[in-house]
């Protein structure tokens, strides 16, 4: 059983299997891209689609109602791949290559593939590596990265990149031993998987940096599932000859026997793999649970702080109730109270969004998130700037020691909100 | 120059001429052009025809018209313009020139 999609191509409707659709889509995209220069009113691509539709209608019948991968491959063979067009129209081709070379020399933020502002994936595009690697490095290098990130954000213009030209790092679970991370990296870097495995294992004895890297990659990368993803993983560009090459190569790979050394080397891991996999599943669950608990506690804590702060800032406490505290409150300027409230609110919203992302992989609107982060940093800066003055002011008035000596506690009263009470 | 490369170069040069010739005979739609070119082994893959048709249309050598078909969606029928016909005549003249000179060359070689 396979999932099918319904497509409307050249005014006709076809049911097409998912993997076949993916290849067809990439094929049409590559053609669109190729004829971009001469095909202003997209007439060529429409003609292409019409002809493909004609070819498809010859493939379907009452007993075979769905277009499958072999049909698509056949049709692509009939229509011709980019290499075939290059023979006839090599003049357009050279222009394209030149343009590409030009753009690659500059560093851009990648607006087509971003989490916050596309800095990481822009750097990745520049060095022709996977954005995930740069993101993981950024993630490890807290908090220096934040500054670097913002500088890059401001300093580098953004640009859309063609996602099909990008090589993507996927986990190759099919051919992997544990999670397919090493095999995925080996596909990506075109290095033998065993070398990467050895590096990972050796790094275990040096503080376990490799382990951290492994788990981060595991966490951040997707497993290659569809044919298109598997091809992207190996750096294939989709056209007919490539699809065939790829499938040939894959079957050949599966048949080629491993040598004894590899077998011996991998044996303990093969043995451990189910165990580690089970352990990891539990680990991920435990991690998520702990993360959930911590983020909930954090959010609740910040919320309480917010309530406390807003009630004591905006509610007048009479001098009779506690002269010292009244004086203390008076030294806090109104603007600072407002900054703090907004800052805490932003913190809550951002932590909720991040928690949702980590726990359920639900992405929010990245532009919205970008603005939030920006505001958060802006308010944090404002607070940092104004805080020293206020503290100095308090110290000058000799307010701080009395207040922090533990004789006071906050009490919640239904009618009055937060109150400061002197302990007996 | 390999034989394969030679063939490609020849086809490349002649493709436009052949397509114009086919269209000049009668009103045809893209698939008919493709069939004919494939039968005479001038093209290998179908996709090469479309950019060419688009270019011919931009040069006003040919025009197209949408017509209902008995089976399936409407089809795009191409026909040659007066300007295109003129262009084709010139091409035919130059082709016969080249053709006869090449024939002459081959003869003297024997």
Task: Give the pLDDT of residue A94.
Answer: 43
Q: CB of B52 within 8 A of CB of A38?
A: no
**What does DSSP say about strands A170-171 and A222-223: parallel, antiparallel, or unpaired?**
parallel
Say which residue, B91 or A330, is predicted with more confidence.
B91
Asked if B46 is an interface residue toward chain A (Cβ–Cβ < 8 A), one would say yes
Task: Give the pLDDT of residue A230.
Answer: 66
| pLDDT > 70? residue A59 | yes
- How close is the nearest chain A Cα to the Cα of B79, in Å? 16
User: Which residues make beta-bridge pairs with A159?
Assistant: A110
- Residue ranges of alpha helices (H) inside B26-81 are 30-39, 49-58
Going from the C-alpha of B71 to that of each of A61, A78, B27, B46, B67, the distances in angstroms are 15, 22, 18, 21, 12
Q: How confident is the model at residue A95 (pLDDT cuts 50, 70, 90)?
A: very low
- How close is the nearest chain A Cα to the Cα of B25, in Å? 22
Three-state SS string over A296-342 comes to HHHHHHHHHHHHHHHHHHHCCCCCCCCHHHHHHHHHCCHHHHHHHHH
**What does DSSP say about strands A12-17 and A4-9: parallel, antiparallel, or unpaired?**
antiparallel
| pLDDT > 90? residue B93 | yes
User: Nearest residue on chain A to B75, judged by CA atoms?
Assistant: A50
pLDDT digits (tens, 9 = 90+) for A223-239: 776 666 666 666 555 54
Helix-strand-coil percent breakdown of chain B, rounded to 5? 65, 15, 20
pLDDT digits (tens, 9 = 90+) for B13-68: 788 888 888 888 888 888 888 888 888 877 777 888 888 888 888 888 888 888 88
pLDDT digits (tens, 9 = 90+) for A238-248: 544 555 565 55
Q: What is the average per-residue pLDDT within A349-371? A: 76
Task: Compute the Cα dihedral for A92, A97, A102, A108 and give only its sign.
Answer: positive
Q: How confident is the model at residue A100 (pLDDT cuts 50, 70, 90)?
A: very low
Cβ–Cβ below 8 Å for B72 and A51? no
Task: Give the pLDDT of residue B92.
Answer: 92
Task: Give the pLDDT of residue A228.
Answer: 63
pLDDT digits (tens, 9 = 90+) for A315-337: 666 666 666 667 667 777 777 77
Task: Give the pLDDT of residue A409.
Answer: 56
- Angle at alpha carbon of residue B94, lines to B45 and B55, rounded to 5°: 40
User: Nearest residue on chain A to B13, judged by CA atoms?
Assistant: A88
DSSP A1: -
Q: What is the average per-residue pLDDT within A306-323? A: 68
pLDDT digits (tens, 9 = 90+) for A161-204: 655 555 667 777 666 677 777 777 777 777 777 777 777 777 77
Distance CA A410, CA A401 (A): 17
Of residues B45, B53, B72, nearest to A12 (C-beta) = B72
| pLDDT > 70? residue A33 | yes
Percent of chain A beyond pLDDT 90? 0
**DSSP secondary structure of A117-154:** SSHHHHHHHHHTS-HHHHHHHHHHTTTHHHHHHHHHHH
Task: Give the pLDDT of residue A96.
Answer: 46
Task: Give the pLDDT of residue A99.
Answer: 45
């Amino acid at each position: 059983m396979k999932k099918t999609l319904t497509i409307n191509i050249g005014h006709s409707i076809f049911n097409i299997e998912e993997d076949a659709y993916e290849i067809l889509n990439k094929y049409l995209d590559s053609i669109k891209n190729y004829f971009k220069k001469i095909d202003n009113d997209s007439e060529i691509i429409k003609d292409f689609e019409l002809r493909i539709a004609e070819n498809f209608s010859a493939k379907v019948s009452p007993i075979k109602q769905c277009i499958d991968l072999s049909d698509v491959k056949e049709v692509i063979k009939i229509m011709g791949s980019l290499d075939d067009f290059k023979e006839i129209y090599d003049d357009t081709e050279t222009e394209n290559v030149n343009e590409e070379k030009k753009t690659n020399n500059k560093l851009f933020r990648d607006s087509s593939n971003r989490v916050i502002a596309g800095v990481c994936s822009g750097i990745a595009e520049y060095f022709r590596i996977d954005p995930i690697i740069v993101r993981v490095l950024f993630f490890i290098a807290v908090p220096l990265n934040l500054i670097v990130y913002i500088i890059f954000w401001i300093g580098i213009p953004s640009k859309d990149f063609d996602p099909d030209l990008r090589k993507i790092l996927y986990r190759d679970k099919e051919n992997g031993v544990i999670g397919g991370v090493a095999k995925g990296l080996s596909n990506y870097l075109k290095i033998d998987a065993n070398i990467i495995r050895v590096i990972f294992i050796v790094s275990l004895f040096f503080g376990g940096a490799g382990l951290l890297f492994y788990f981060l990659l595991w966490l951040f990368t997707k497993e290659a599932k569809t044919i298109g993803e598997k091809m992207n993983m190996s750096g294939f560009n989709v056209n007919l000859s490539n699809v065939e090459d790829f499938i040939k190569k894959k079957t050949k790979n599966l048949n080629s026997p491993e040598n004894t050394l590899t077998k011996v080397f991998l044996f303990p891991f093969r043995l451990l793999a189910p165990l580690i996999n089970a352990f990891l599943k539990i680990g991920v669950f435990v991690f998520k649970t702990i993360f959930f608990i911590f983020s909930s506690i954090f959010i609740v804590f910040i919320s309480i702080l917010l309530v406390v702060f807003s009630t004591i800032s905006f509610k007048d406490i009479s001098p009779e109730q506690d002269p010292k505290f009244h004086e203390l409150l008076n030294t806090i300027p109104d603007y600072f109270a407002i900054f703090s409230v907004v800052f805490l609110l932003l913190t809550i919203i951002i932590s909720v969004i991040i928690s949702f992302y980590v726990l359920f992989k639900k992405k929010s609107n990245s532009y919205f998130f970008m603005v939030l982060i920006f505001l958060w940093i802006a308010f944090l800066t404002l607070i940092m700037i104004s805080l020293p003055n206020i503290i100095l002011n308090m110290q000058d008035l000799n307010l701080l020691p009395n207040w922090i000596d533990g004789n006071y506690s906050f009490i919640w009263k239904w009618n009055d909100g937060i109150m400061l009470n002197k302990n007996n | 120059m390999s034989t394969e490369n030679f063939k490609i170069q020849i086809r490349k040069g002649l493709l436009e001429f052949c397509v114009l010739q086919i269209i000049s005979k009668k009103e045809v739609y893209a698939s008919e052009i493709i069939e004919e070119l494939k039968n005479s082994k001038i093209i290998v893959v179908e996709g090469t025809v479309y950019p060419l048709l688009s270019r011919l249309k931009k040069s006003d050598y040919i025009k197209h018209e949408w017509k209902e078909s008995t089976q399936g969606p409407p089809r795009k029928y191409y026909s040659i313009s007066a300007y295109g016909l003129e262009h084709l005549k010139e091409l035919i003249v130059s082709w016969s020139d080249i053709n006869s000179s090449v024939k002459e060359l081959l003869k003297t070689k024997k």
